Structure 1
């Protein structure tokens, strides 16, 4: 059986990503850095590494910074799932243009979830896992309490599927993904429900 926390096991990095995608609300490096630091802390990620073809003990850690994201594209580490299993994880920034916002995606690859035996697909267009959704919602809530953001979405390959401007402050009635939507006085979690 594969070790879902092994960097060198290529099967861990296969497939898409189960994500917490956060719309930062600006294109300022300092805002993106604040969200990146808050995510790594809230998820209790172990390590920050640039390479997936070497185990953490075989490479030097890199700073958990926007500069590292820019240089390496993705940052990688290990995280403990709510099931207690350690898996590989990562983060990537999608930088907005002049008229949009940056996004930070925190993810666990499908392959690692498969190798950990965590069910997250049932044939629907969007994979679903209530356990992962609630865990990622908890991470997103902790991030929001530290730095705030415009919107977060949760699920399989959710980055870019909507944005705060499109939602205009309202959760969809039927949701194939999870939403964390800022409201006056806090954050509203709209779990996937269809």
Structure 2
């Protein structure tokens, strides 16, 4: 089943496969979380750590929140493609980042120090990517 707004609405949680930037085909998931309050709606796309293990992709180096610029940039590309057909007010990239901030808190500005990646709209069809620039979360 393709990952579409309709399939997410009907099933809520989809599982499938995705090709990592390394070329490995791994399992993945996507879940829509409806806020119903000021938190808004969230779309979580994820690759389980076991899938990264199976593909030989390092995902932990002793730090509490592992960073991979290759995977972060890949996820940012997915987010930018998604934005073209389904604009959003904020995207965050990292390990377990759902609900960690919101667009109204950022007020259209990227934090100067970033322990996670941000996809922040700058106008109607411009999306700015602020990559991680610090070691801490």
Q: Paired residues, what number?
A: 131
Distance across 1 between alignment mates of 2:120 and 2:73: 15
- Unaligned stretches of 5+ residues in structure 1: 1-35, 39-62
Larger Rg: 1
1:100 aligns with 2:39: yes
User: Could you say which structure has the higher helix fraction?
Assistant: 1
Report the Cα distance in structure 2 between the residues aligned to 1:98 and 1:161, rounded to whole angstroms: 15
Deviations 1:152-172 (A, max 9, x none): 001111111111111111111
1:156 to 89, 95, 101: 95
Aligned to 1:66: 9
On the 8 A contact 1:126/1:177 being kept in 2, the answer is no
2:130 alignment partner in structure 1: 190
| Greater than 3 Å deviation, 4+ residue runs | none
Q: Which of 108, 116, 127 lines up with 2:66 in the alignment?
A: 127
TM-score (norm 1): 0.63
Structure 1 contact 91–106 (Cα < 8 Å) conserved: yes
Q: Which has the higher contact order (CA 8 A, sep 6+)?
A: 1
Provide the secondary structure at the position in 1 that maps to 2:53.
helix
1:71-90 equivalence runs, <5 A: 74-90=13-29
Partner residue of 1:91? Answer: 30
Q: CA RMSD in A?
A: 1.6
1:97 Cα deviation after fit: 1.9
How does the TM-score come out when normalised to structure 2?
0.88
Give the 3 Å change call, closer, same or farther, for CA 99–160 of structure 1 in structure 2: closer
Q: Does structure 2 retain, via aligned residues, the 8 Å contact 1:37–1:64?
A: yes
Give, in whole Å, the separation in 2 of the partners of 1:92 and 1:127: 22
Instruction: Give 1:121 shift.
Output: 2.1
**2:111 corresponds to which of 149, 172, 177:** 172
Q: In structure 2, list runs of 5 or more residues that go unmatched.
A: none
